[in-house]
Chain A
Amino acid sequence: MDLDRRHFLAAAGAVSLPAVLAGCGFAPSSSSDSQPSGTDTITFTTWGTDSELAGFRSAISSFESANPGSKVTLNAVPYDQMFTNIDAQLQAGNPPDVFRVPYYTFGSYAGRGQLLDLGPHLADGFSDRFTPQAWAAVQNGGKAYGVPHHTDTSVILYNKALLESAGITSVPTSLDQAWTWDEFAQLLQTMRDKLPGSRYPLAVNWQGNGVTRWLSWLFESDGRFLAEDLKTPAIDSAQGKEALDFTKSFFEKKFVPQNNSVKSTKLAADLWYGQTTAMTFGGAFLIPDSEKTLEFEWGATFAPRNKRSAGDFGGNALVATKAARNPALVAKFFDHMTNADQMRAFCESASLLPTRADLIEKGIDFKVRPELSPVFVGQASSVKAQDSGQVASPSMSKIITVLKDNLEAAFVGGQDTAAALSSMSSGIGAATAS
């Protein structure tokens, strides 16, 4: 039959329909793995730097080799979308079996019945491999809901040329010789006097969810924000006042830029990268990028101490969702991911810190700037179980908001210390009560 206009248009429409549907997102994505089948597969969702993702892939590969027939499907997503995706999947009832979670977010999931209690599935004595502070960070109500995969903590990263221009020629080389708060304040004042007005001595990495790093100053004074019961607010105390007064002075005395406050979208590391500040607090995860991109010579030293040294228990845990299809396989996977060889390989290549006691005792060497490893490992040893256990509170996401609002008011809003502590105390009380 002759091809007339009507038939031609119909044929053209039929040919273009797949393209239209693909444009609407109906086409199967070639980049996603096929749907996991059966119960011998674990779905694992995480974000990560290139080094971290490479470490995960390597560990998964060795796990699959050691467990023929088992498969781990890795789903790598950008950090910004990670937890809105996870929350949506949990609410919809189709979460991954395993996902990665920061310690300060862990409590929100564990405390609300979303995670698998690993106790029945892990071998006796499993927890002995970890440091007490690491194991405390994955507990809720006395039960283990995850495994501490790695940690990180903040030390001082410094620009050597800017320090020398301020007359500072040496930095502490051991944890117990770290600058005291008084020495640190004196150092900052010296730098303030010597540096031009548009440059600053320091930037602190307490932006956004990193506001938990302010708690390190509280811990350095032997203070707490939650009492032993992990519900009663404990921040309105002499130690709280000491920590808040000290950190407020960073803004009052122009030791830090005004846009270094907790709600700023400008990260501390960016202030340091741009040489606006001579020093910044930063974690080991910054080492690969810093080494690759910075044009100035830089080093690392220990955070200052007050009554004691302390640090933030950063880093991430691996957790399983309550609905994980094969808990025994998940437990095996977690055991594999936290064995000594795997943890060492992961942490050394990604510039992160181990949570195993034996690795911390022996020390590790980062692939990039290995001579900096002892500074970070040493600083991490100053974190105590009583510190990380507080940050594992299920109310932590609300407490973070309370800290952000009140520290911002104190740092750049002129709110006095007593009012800020009182407001934080009542805010924390409301958070743990709800």
Chain B
Amino acid sequence: MTASPRRDPVPARRRGARTGSRREALAGYSFVAPNMVLLLVFVLVPLVWAVLISFQRTDGFGTGRYIGLENYSRLVTDPVFWRSTANTVLFTVIVTPLSMAIGLGIAVLLNSVLPARGLFRSILILPMAISGVATALIGVLIFDQDTGVLDKLLQSVGLPAVAWQSNGTAAFASVVLVTLWWRVGFNMLIYLAGLQAINPELYEAARLDGANRWQQFRYITVPLVGPSSFFLLILNVVYSFQVFDIVFVMTDGGPENATSVLVTYAYNNGFVTGDQGYAAAIGVVLLLLTLLFTVLRWRTSRTRDLVE
């Protein structure tokens, strides 16, 4: 009789545990469902739709005509596509390391004891709050080769004016410089957060062992902001691949396609020329490039999870 009461509660507990787990899982899925629906409707459906359009000849009005891989084979022989791809890659290769390096440098400076550092941080972060188009319009004021601030400044100290609109290299440089101004603040912010997570005792120990400032930076700071670098590298590359508004407003791909990038080229084909199938094909290629880079970076990064 004493054994009987002890046996009864055991099955009840086991049944309750299984039911509870399922209930928790359901609750979790329920909470995440709205986000998944949003993702599905606003990302996945348009993505599949764009892939389908890239196999059509269509101007967007009415149903298009399926032409197989014709849009993609046309890409291969299109010199402007390759020029835009090269410009996009070059832009990425220049802007990404520069904005990260400058951002980290400034973050290190602002992470130390510095008068009014809050003010400096605010000044540097402010461009990040401005929209791309507004940033580009500021760039136009500075870089206009006839009435811009910069050429007037150069000429006032006896230097020759630079043809920021009509010289391809100078136009490309102007877009890079404006983008750096816009992006450095964000990079600084992320690195600042990463720096503040580093244990000060590491620097103290290094100093006691005779490390100089550069060695402290090289062997402690840089490896330990690995997670920030990983995050910023992907973000900067993806952003640079998708650069549009600054190019569109400042140079619109000119002069002579010297600053044409994949997204401005896709935009011009889709919405100016009205060739939406071809524009979608360019978009799909851009997506594949971005995915490829992200996967490669994910697989090869050795310091992304390094913490102290």
Q: Which residues of A contact B (CB under 8 A)?
A: 83-84, 87, 90-91, 108, 112-114, 198, 208, 257-259, 261, 263-266, 271, 274, 276, 397-398, 400-401, 405, 408-409, 412-413, 434
Q: Is the CB of A398 within 8 A of B147?
A: no
How far, in whole Å, are A362 and B150 apart by their CA atoms in the complex? 50
Shortest CB–CB separation between residue A61 and chain B, in angstroms? 33
Q: Is the CB of B268 within 8 A of A265?
A: no
How far, in whole Å, are A87 and B273 apart by their CA atoms in the complex? 12
When distances are taken between beta carbons in the complex, the residues of chain A under 8 Å from B226 are none
With A113-B61, A398-B275, A401-B268 known to touch, is A271 a contact of B252 (CB < 8 Å)?
Answer: no
How far, in whole Å, are A87 and B249 apart by their CA atoms in the complex? 22
Q: Is the CB of B274 within 8 A of A264?
A: no
Q: Is the CB of A261 within 8 A of B254?
A: yes
How far, in whole Å, are A265 and B165 apart by their CA atoms in the complex? 8
* Nearest 5 CB-CB pairings of A with B: A258-B166, A263-B254, A259-B165, A259-B166, A276-B146
Q: Is the CB of A261 within 8 A of B255?
A: yes
When distances are taken between beta carbons in the complex, the residues of chain B under 8 Å from A90 are 60-61
Q: Is the CB of A271 within 8 A of B253?
A: no
Closest to B61 in A: A112
When distances are taken between beta carbons in the complex, the residues of chain A under 8 Å from B161 are 198
Q: Is the CB of A266 within 8 A of B59?
A: no
How far, in whole Å, are A263 and B253 apart by their CA atoms in the complex? 8
When distances are taken between beta carbons in the complex, the residues of chain B under 8 Å from A261 are 166, 254-255
When distances are taken between beta carbons in the complex, the residues of chain A under 8 Å from B88 are none
Among A208, A258, A263, A413: residue with most chain B CB under 10 A: A263
Contact of A408 among B163, B255, B268, B275 (CB under 8 A): B255
Shortest CB–CB separation between residue A316 and chain B, in angstroms? 18
Shortest CB–CB separation between residue B165 and chain A, in angstroms? 4
Q: Is B84's beta carbon under 8 Å from chain A?
A: no
Closest to A271 in B: B146
How far, in whole Å, are A51 and B257 apart by their CA atoms in the complex? 36
| Prevailing SS type, chain A contact patch | helix
How far, in whole Å, are A98 and B60 apart by their CA atoms in the complex? 20
B residues 223-263 near A (Cβ < 8 Å) are 249-257
- Per-residue CB contact flags for chain B residues 273-285 toward chain A (1 = under 8 Å, else 0) read 1110000000000
Q: Is B111's beta carbon under 8 Å from chain A?
A: no
Shortest CB–CB separation between residue B45 and chain A, in angstroms? 15
How far, in whole Å, are A16 and B163 apart by their CA atoms in the complex? 53
Contact of B166 among A83, A264, A409 (CB under 8 A): A264
How far, in whole Å, are A84 and B249 apart by their CA atoms in the complex? 17
Contact of B249 among A114, A265, A434 (CB under 8 A): A265
Q: Is the CB of A87 within 8 A of B256?
A: no
How far, in whole Å, are A266 and B268 apart by their CA atoms in the complex? 18
Q: Is the CB of B165 within 8 A of A91?
A: no
Contact of A112 among B59, B145, B147, B165 (CB under 8 A): B59
When distances are taken between beta carbons in the complex, the residues of chain B under 8 Å from A87 are 60-61, 271
Q: Is the CB of A265 within 8 A of B146?
A: no
Q: Is the CB of B255 within 8 A of A401?
A: no
Q: List 17 A-B residue pairs with CB atoms under 8 Å apart, sorted by A's residue number.
A: A90-B60, A91-B60, A257-B145, A257-B146, A258-B165, A259-B145, A259-B165, A263-B252, A263-B253, A263-B256, A264-B254, A265-B165, A266-B165, A274-B146, A401-B268, A405-B257, A408-B255
| Prevailing SS type, chain B contact patch | loop
When distances are taken between beta carbons in the complex, the residues of chain A under 8 Å from B59 are 108, 112
When distances are taken between beta carbons in the complex, the residues of chain A under 8 Å from B118 are none
With A261-B166, A401-B268 known to touch, is A266 a contact of B255 (CB < 8 Å)?
Answer: no
Closest to A259 in B: B165
Contact of A401 among B60, B165, B272 (CB under 8 A): B272
Q: Is the CB of A265 within 8 A of B60?
A: no
Closest to A112 in B: B61
How far, in whole Å, are A257 and B254 apart by their CA atoms in the complex? 15
Shortest CB–CB separation between residue B257 and chain A, in angstroms? 8
When distances are taken between beta carbons in the complex, the residues of chain B under 8 Å from A276 are 146-147
How far, in whole Å, are A266 and B253 apart by their CA atoms in the complex? 13
Closest to B252 in A: A265
When distances are taken between beta carbons in the complex, the residues of chain A under 8 Å from B273 are 397-398, 400-401
How far, in whole Å, are A355 and B66 apart by their CA atoms in the complex? 42
How far, in whole Å, are A148 and B274 apart by their CA atoms in the complex? 23
Q: Is the CB of A397 within 8 A of B255?
A: no
With A263-B252, A408-B255 known to touch, is A84 a contact of B271 (CB < 8 Å)?
Answer: yes
When distances are taken between beta carbons in the complex, the residues of chain A under 8 Å from B251 are 265
Shortest CB–CB separation between residue A398 and chain B, in angstroms? 5
When distances are taken between beta carbons in the complex, the residues of chain B under 8 Å from A264 are 165-166, 254-255
How far, in whole Å, are A185 and B161 apart by their CA atoms in the complex? 27
- Per-residue CB contact flags for chain B residues 27-67 toward chain A (1 = under 8 Å, else 0) read 00000000000000000000000000000010111100000
Q: Is the CB of B166 within 8 A of A412?
A: yes
Shortest CB–CB separation between residue B153 and chain A, in angstroms? 14
Shortest CB–CB separation between residue A134 and chain B, in angstroms? 25
When distances are taken between beta carbons in the complex, the residues of chain A under 8 Å from B167 are 258
When distances are taken between beta carbons in the complex, the residues of chain B under 8 Å from A91 are 60-61
How far, in whole Å, are A257 and B163 apart by their CA atoms in the complex? 10
Closest to B253 in A: A263
Q: Is the CB of A259 within 8 A of B163?
A: yes
When distances are taken between beta carbons in the complex, the residues of chain B under 8 Å from A114 are 61
How far, in whole Å, are A259 and B249 apart by their CA atoms in the complex? 15
Shortest CB–CB separation between residue A397 and chain B, in angstroms? 5
- Per-residue CB contact flags for chain B residues 76-114 toward chain A (1 = under 8 Å, else 0) read 000010000000000000000000000000000000000
Closest to A398 in B: B273
With A87-B60, A113-B62, A401-B268 known to touch, is A412 a contact of B256 (CB < 8 Å)?
Answer: yes
Contact of A412 among B61, B146, B255 (CB under 8 A): B255
